[in-house]
Amino acid sequence: MDIVDPAVEHYVRSLLDRHDEPVLLEMEAEAEARGFPIVGRTVGATLEVLARAVGARRVVELGSGFGYSGYWFSKAVGPGGELHLTDGDPENQRKALDYLGRAGLAGPVSFHVGDAVGSLGALEGDFDVVYNDIDKEGYPDAWRAARGRVRVGGLYLCDNVLWYGRVTGRDPDERTPAIVEHNAMIAADEHYLSVVDPIRDGLMVALRIE
């Protein structure tokens, strides 16, 4: 199910043409060719806007794939920032460092291969943004691990929280309950002010307020 009318999605995407850069286009082409689930241009640009809006200098991603979402966060934090990418697949580390290096965006990047929640636990300190895009069954544990690691005034962001409409009870699959649990925990958390941006497949935007 399309959350946003495809014509509207297409229009919103068309406003982002000025971001066309050879490496970004290459990454988008790889995702298209392999059917690899990157966030895509509209969510990518949203991640950069949100990270810049909170003045992010220290960001961690849970589930980075080959670095597409990292591309946008790297632009946001700048070369003097800190961007931790995580993925279970070492081939994604190789690809991400190659792509981001060629795009001139590898400066702030450290890539951690292994379980993303474990990698977060091994890092010290708070983050301006924690972004979650791991396997959906892991969303509740990722939130539990992340919620105390975002600084007050920082953001927890998470992709696919509408799960193509399945969270409404329509045609649920085995991953839907974990996403529903994740979303409900965040909505009820008084340390956060949160909303789902229904862009693409739903982006959770949760601002830590205390």
Does 37 interact with ligand SAM (rule: CB under 6 A)?
yes
Cα 82 to Cα 10: distance, rounded to the nearest angstrom: 32
Q: How far is the CB of 118 from ligand SAM (least distance, A)?
A: 8
Instruction: Give 39 or 103: the residue with its C-beta nearer to ligand SAM.
Output: 39
Check binding of 48 to ligand SAM (CB under 6 A). no
Annotate the chain with three-state secondary structure: CCCCCHHHHHHHHHCCHHHCCHHHHHHHHHHHHHCCCCCHHHHHHHHHHHHHHCCCCEEEEECCCCCHHHHHHHHHHCCCCEEEEEECCHHHHHHHHHHHHHCCCCCCEEEEECCHHHHHHHCCCCEEEEEECCCHHHHHHHHHHHCCCEEEEEEEEEECCCHHHHHHCCCCCCCHHHHHHHHHHHHHCCCEEEEEECCCCCEEEEEECC
**73-132 positions binding ligand SAM, by CB under 6 A:** 86-89, 92, 115-116
Stretch that binds ligand SAM, among 33-41, 97-105, 148-156, 168-176 (CB under 6 A): 33-41
Q: Which strands form 82-87's sheet, in the order they lie side by side?
A: 109-113, 82-87, 58-62, 127-132, 150-159, 203-208, 192-197
Question: Which residue, 9 or 115, has its beta carbon nearer to ligand SAM?
Answer: 115
Asked if 202 interacts with ligand SAM (CB under 6 A), we say no
Q: Which C-beta is closer to ligand SAM: that of 38 or that of 100?
A: 38
Which residue's CB is nearer to ligand SAM, number 21 or number 191?
21
Exactly one of 81, 108, 138, 140 binds ligand SAM (CB under 6 A); that residue is: 138
Least separation in angstroms between CB 190 and ligand SAM = 27
User: Which of 74/183 has CB closer to ligand SAM?
Assistant: 74
Angle, CA 154 vertex, CA 158 and CA 107 arms, to 5°: 80
Min dist. Cβ of residue 71 to ligand SAM (A): 8
Q: Is 201 in the site for ligand SAM (CB under 6 A)?
A: no
Binding residues with ligand SAM: total (CB under 6 A): 19
Looking at beta carbons only, is 92 or 194 nearer to ligand SAM? 92
Q: Which residues bind ligand SAM (CB under 6 A)?
A: 37-39, 63-65, 68-69, 86-89, 92, 115-116, 133-135, 138
